[in-house]
C-alpha cells in the first residue's frame, strides 16, 4: 500500500543512530580485508519545510546517508521516521513519491535516448493533464516548454540541472535530497540554481536536505547544518550560529577554506 500522508500530518524527519559499513576487499581473489564505516551513528532531525545541509570533505559519508534515505541502500542500523511513516520500510517505488534525489551530474541521471517531455511525463504519479503540468513545471524551473522536444545532450549543464529538478518535483516529493547539486556547474550558474532551489522550496513547500563539500553552497541553501567527518557527526546547529562560532576545529577548517566575500 502506498504511504499515507494526509494534509494534516506533520512531516518532521527524525534520523536516529543511522550506521552503514562496507566490506573492503583487495588483492588476490578479492578477499575481504575489513570494513569501512561509511556512516557511523548519525542522528539528526529536520522540521517540515526546513532545509538541512550536510557538509564534509569527500568520503565523509554524505552520499551514503542520502542513498539510505532515498532507498538505494539499506542501513546496518538505525531508523528514519518521516512524520508517522517508517521511511526505511517503504519500498523504493512508493518511496519515490515521498523522497526524490537530485544528483551532482544531471547527465548521468537522465536517459540520453528519451525526449525530455517523455521523461517528465513518466515522472508524474497521476497522469491526468500531464502535458499541461509538464509545461507548467518547466516554467517553474525557468525553462521554456520547447525544451520538452529536446534530448538531454541538447541542453547546457545548468539547463540539465534545472530539468533534473523539474523531473524530481514531478513526483510531488515531500523531501528533496540534493547531492552536490551545483558542484559540476560554473560559479554564475551555481548561483542561479541555488536561487531556484530556494524559490521552489518556498513555493512548493518541500523539506530539503542538501549535501555538499562546499560550505558556501550549504550556507546559501540551508537553515541548519550538520558537519560530517569519516562517517561520523562532528557538530550540528542553526546555520548562522554554526558559521559564527563553530565548535569543532574541523568545521573551522571548512570555514577557513571559504573565499572571503
Ligand atoms: N558501495 C560502496 N562500497 C564500498 N565502499 C563505499 C561504497 N560507497 C561508498 N563507499 C565508501 O564510503 C565512504 C563514504 O563515501 P560517500 O558516502 O560517497 O562519501 P561522500 O559523499 O561524503 O564523498 C568512502 O570512503 C567511500 O569510498
Ligand atoms: Mg558524495
The band of 261, judged by pLDDT with boundaries at 50, 70 and 90, is: very low
Q: What is the mean pLDDT of residues 4-19?
A: 83
Q: Between these two residues, 258 and 94, which has the higher pLDDT value? A: 94
Q: Looking at ligand 1, which residue's alpha carbon is closest to its atom 26?
A: 59
Return d(Cα 68, Cα 252) in angstroms, integer. Answer: 28
Q: What is the mean pLDDT of residues 108-135?
A: 94
Angle, helix 130-140 to helix 187-204, in steps of 10 degrees: 130
Q: What is the mean pLDDT of residues 56-67?
A: 96
Most ligand 1 atoms within 8 A of CB, residue of 61, 68, 250 to mutate: 61
Q: Is residue 155 part of a domain?
A: no
* Segment 129-171, tens digit of pLDDT: 999 999 999 999 999 999 999 999 999 999 999 999 999 999 9
Ligand 1, atom nearest to 64 Cα: 17
**What is the Cα gyration radius of the chain?**
19
Dihedral of the CA atoms 85, 91, 94, 100 (nearest 10)? 80
Computed over every residue of the chain, the mean pLDDT equals 92
Verify whether ligand 1 is closer than 6 Å to residue 56 (CB atom): yes
Q: Is residue 226 part of a domain?
A: yes
Q: Which of 3-7, 109-113, 228-232 has the lowest mean pLDDT?
A: 3-7
Return d(Cα 16, Cα 65) in angstroms, integer. Answer: 12
Residue 35 near residue 203 (C-beta atoms within 8 A): no
Q: Is residue 129 part of a domain?
A: no
Centroid of ligand 1 to alpha carbon of 60 (angstroms): 8
Domain that holds residue 59: 9-95+211-261
Which residues have beta carbons under 5 A from ligand 2 (an ion)? 63
Q: In this prediction, what percent of the chain has a pLDDT beyond 90?
A: 83
User: Is the Cα torsion angle 87, 103, 50, 207 positive or negative in sign?
Assistant: negative
The band of 6, judged by pLDDT with boundaries at 50, 70 and 90, is: low
Q: Is residue 122 part of a domain?
A: no
Ligand nearest to the CA of 62: 1
At residue 147, what are phi and psi to the nearest 5 degrees? -65, -20
* Segment 194-203, tens digit of pLDDT: 999 999 999 9
42-61 burial: b if 16+ Cβ within 10 Å, else e: bebebebebbbbbbbeeebb
C-alpha distances (whole Å) from 67 to each of 3, 61, 76, 145, 209 are: 19, 10, 13, 31, 12
The band of 241, judged by pLDDT with boundaries at 50, 70 and 90, is: very high
The DSSP call for residue 76 is: S
The band of 7, judged by pLDDT with boundaries at 50, 70 and 90, is: low
Centroid of ligand 2 to alpha carbon of 59 (angstroms): 7
The band of 18, judged by pLDDT with boundaries at 50, 70 and 90, is: very high
Ligand 1, atom nearest to 57 Cα: 22
Q: Is residue 35 part of a domain?
A: yes
Q: Quick one: cell of 7?
A: 494534509
The secondary structure of 156-193 as a DSSP string is -HHHHHHHHHHHHHHT--SEEEEESTTTTS-HHHHHHH
Q: What is the mean pLDDT of residues 52-76?
A: 96
Is the pLDDT confidence value at 110 over 70?
A: yes
Q: Is residue 183 part of a domain?
A: no
Is the pLDDT confidence value at 2 over 60?
A: no
Confidence at residue 8, expressed as pLDDT on a 0 to 100 scale: 62
CATH number where 77 lies? 3.40.50.300
Dihedral of the CA atoms 36, 37, 38, 42 (nearest 10)? 180
* Segment 74-90, tens digit of pLDDT: 999 999 999 999 999 99
Return d(Cα 38, Cα 19) in angstroms, integer. Answer: 8
Is the pLDDT confidence value at 260 over 90?
A: no
Verify whether ligand 1 is closer than 6 Å to residue 73 (CB atom): no
The DSSP call for residue 89 is: G
Verify whether ligand 1 is closer than 6 Å to residue 124 (CB atom): no
Q: Is residue 120 part of a domain?
A: no
Q: Looking at ligand 1, which residue's alpha carbon is closest to its atom 20?
A: 59
Is the pLDDT confidence value at 113 over 90?
A: yes
Verify whether ligand 1 is closer than 6 Å to residue 42 (CB atom): no
The count of structural domains within the chain is: 1
Q: Is residue 231 part of a domain?
A: yes
The pTM for the full model equals: 0.93
Residue 42 near residue 79 (C-beta atoms within 8 A): no
Amino acid at each position: 500500500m502506498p504511504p499515507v500522508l494526509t494534509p494534516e500530518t506533520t512531516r518532521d524527519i527524525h534520523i536516529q543512530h543511522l550506521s552503514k559499513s562496507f566490506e573492503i576487499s583487495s588483492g588476490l581473489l578479492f578477499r575481504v580485508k575489513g570494513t569501512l564505516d561509511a556512516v557511523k551513528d548519525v542522528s539528526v532531525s529536520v522540521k517540515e519545510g526546513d532545509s538541512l545541509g550536510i557538509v564534509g570533505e569527500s568520503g565523509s559519508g554524505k552520499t551514503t546517508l542520502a542513498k539510505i534515505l532515498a532507498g538505494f541502500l539499506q542501513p546496518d542500523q538505525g531508523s528514519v521516521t518521516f512524520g508517522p511513516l517508517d521511511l526505511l520500510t517503504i519500498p523504493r517505488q512508493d518511496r519515490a513519491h515521498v523522497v526524490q534525489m537530485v544528483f551532482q551530474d544531471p547527465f548521468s541521471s537522465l536517459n540520453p535516448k528519451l525526449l525530455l517531455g517523455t521523461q517528465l511525463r513518466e515522472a508524474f504519479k497521476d497522469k491526468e493533464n500531464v502535458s499541461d503540468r509538464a509545461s507548467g513545471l518547466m516554467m517553474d524551473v525557468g525553462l521554456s516548454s520547447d525544451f520538452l522536444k529536446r534530448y538531454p545532450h541538447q541542453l547546457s549543464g545548468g539547463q540539465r540541472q534545472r530539468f533534473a529538478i523539474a523531473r524530481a518535483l514531478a513526483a510531488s516529493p515531500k523531501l528533496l535530497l540534493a547531492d552536490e547539486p551545483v558542484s559540476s556547474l560554473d560559479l554564475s550558474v551555481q548561483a542561479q540554481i541555488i536561487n531556484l532551489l530556494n524559490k521552489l522550496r518556498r513555493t512548493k513547500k518541500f523539506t530539503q536536505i542538501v549535501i555538499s563539500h562546499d560550505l558556501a553552497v550549504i550556507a546559501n541553501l540551508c537553515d541548519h547544518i550538520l558537519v560530517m567527518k569519516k562517517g561520523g557527526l562532528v557538530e550540528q546547529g542553526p546555520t548562522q550560529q554554526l558559521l559564527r562560532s563553530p565548535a569543532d576545529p574541523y568545521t573551522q577548517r571548512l570555514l577557513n577554506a571559504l573565499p572571503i566575500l
